[in-house]
Amino acid sequence: MDECTCRCDDCPEGTYQNQTNADTCLPCPPQMWSPKKSASCFHPVTTFLSPQDTTVGALVALTVADFAILCACLLVFAVRWRTPVVRAAGGPLAFVMLASLLASCAVTLLFVAKPTPLGCLIRQPLFALSFTLCISCLLVRSCQIVFIFKLARRLPWVHNLWLKYRGMYTSLGLSLLIQGGLCALWLHFSPPSLKVDAVGTQEVFLRCSEGHFLGLGSILSFLALLGGACFAVAFWGRKLPKNYSEARLLSLSMLVFLMAWGSFILIYATTEGKGRQIAALQMFTVQTSVYAILCTFFLPKCYIILFRPQHNTVAHFQTCIQAYTASPQDATP
């Protein structure tokens, strides 16, 4: 027979030899690959961010530790919920804040799980709503204390309006309504979706695309607005009785919050949200914000409850209030 008819050339990459027609190299179907001299084609390996990655595993461990500390704080507050420290922390608001922080920690695990269409769709709105509730509670609690000590006597009508229209619940509901509206618009016009990025011919990377940048940017900007307002009110109340004022610590936590999310938005806008580690970066940013609030607001109060019980009495709080009202600072705006 002719030599050209008997010889079978090696098939290059991306093609294979069918056993029924061994003299012909057939191209692989779309989204499949093959090495040289292959008799079949293969699907690419699917990868995604998982706890097996060292960085992601460390973030998951950080999240679990955060979740455990928050549960411990919730237990301490629940056991001592009638004490002055818990009431000064906001009473029911403190429990709402702890619950919202726990929800934020739980939602962040969706950022490092295997992406799914549903997970991509709900993870950002769930985080935005839960963290909005926490920051709003901090803001409302700070406003209440400032109203009581600074405005109740000078502008009694403002304080009366706050009480008449239930300013605490109205403010929380309004914040959630605005954030919920932003999330709804985002999900309607440019919803997040599951994307498959090709990494060469042998690997594809699953990630969540957040849609148009304005969607994610709007909900994060609203969070930043609440954080900035909380910082301003906390700074305004820096001269209140020390039992009620956490101006330095709360201002520090809001600064950390604003800087962390400002850096994330800058990196996200620069990379257009397409980096492999964007989800891990957002998870780190969330944990930074949660730890900032935890360490500056809840842990100091737990320390007083557990190790300084003499400062957790009605008499001690009354002494601090009397010292504040007798000081000349109360006469200054």
Task: Provide the domain count of the chain.
Answer: 2
Residues 120 and 210 in one domain: yes
Average pLDDT, the chain: 84
pLDDT tens per residue, range 275-323:
678 888 999 999 999 999 999 899 999 999 999 988 888 887 777 766 6
- The answer as to whether 76 is a domain residue is yes
Token pair for 9: 């050339």
Query: Is position 237 within any domain?
Result: yes
User: What is the reported pLDDT for 270?
Assistant: 85
List the beta bridge partners of residue 114. none
Domain span holding position 21: 1-43
Tell me the pLDDT tens digit for each residue of 120-153.
Answer: 999 999 999 999 999 999 998 888 777 777 666 6
Task: Based on the fold, state whether residues 34 and 65 are members of the same structural domain.
Answer: no
Provide the pLDDT for residue 241. 64
- If asked whether residues 103 and 206 sit together in one domain, one would say yes
In a domain, 333, yes or no: no
In a domain, residue 332? The reply is no
**pLDDT 10s digits, 89-112:** 888 999 999 999 999 999 988 888
Residue 11's pLDDT is 84
Output the 3-class SS for 275-307: CCCHHHHHHHHHHHHHHHHHHHHHHHHHHHHHH
Given a cut of 80, whether residue 215 has pLDDT beyond it is yes
Long-range Cβ contact pairs of 275-282 (< 8 A, separation 24 or more): 276/49, 276/205, 276/207, 277/49, 277/55, 278/207, 279/49, 279/111, 279/112, 279/207, 279/208, 280/49, 280/53, 280/55, 280/56, 280/59, 280/111, 280/112, 282/108, 282/111
Q: What pLDDT shows up at residue 288?
A: 93
Nearest to 50 by CA among 124, 105, 114: 114
In a domain, residue 255? The reply is: yes
Based on the domain organization, do 242 and 306 belong to the same domain? yes
User: Is residue 25 within 8 Å of 15, Cβ to Cβ?
Assistant: yes
Q: What is the pLDDT of residues 12-57, one digit of tens each?
A: 888 887 766 567 788 888 878 888 878 888 888 888 888 888 888 9
Q: Which residues 6+ apart lie within 8 Å of 33 measured at CB?
A: 13, 14, 41, 42, 44, 201, 202
Q: Could you tell me how many helices (H) and strands (E) the chain has, helices first?
A: 12, 5
Let me know whether 218 and 251 are in one domain: yes
> From residue 117, how far is each of 92, 98, 312 by CA, in Å?
36, 29, 49
Residue 238 lies in a domain: yes
Q: Are residues 32 and 92 in the same domain?
A: no
Q: Counting beta carbons within 10 angstroms of the beta carbon of residue 326, is it exposed (0 to 12), middle (13 to 18) or buried (19 or more)? A: exposed
> Do 182 and 139 sit in the same domain of this protein?
yes
Least confident of 41-50, 201-210, 232-241, 297-306: 232-241
12 and 119 co-located in one domain: no
Give ∠ CA 126-217-56 in degrees, rounded to 5. Answer: 60
The CATH number for 170's domain is 1.20.1070.10
Pair (163, 237) in one structural domain: yes
**How far, in Å, CA of 130 to CA of 299, rounded?**
20
Asked whether residue 168 is assigned to any structural domain, the reply reads yes
In terms of domains, do 168 and 206 share one?
yes
- Please measure the distance between the N-terminal and C-terminal CA atoms of the chain and give it in whole angstroms: 106
Residue 181 lies in a domain: yes
Nearest to 51, CA basis, from 41, 43, 60: 60
| One domain, residues 118 and 36 | no
Same domain assignment for residues 18 and 56 = no
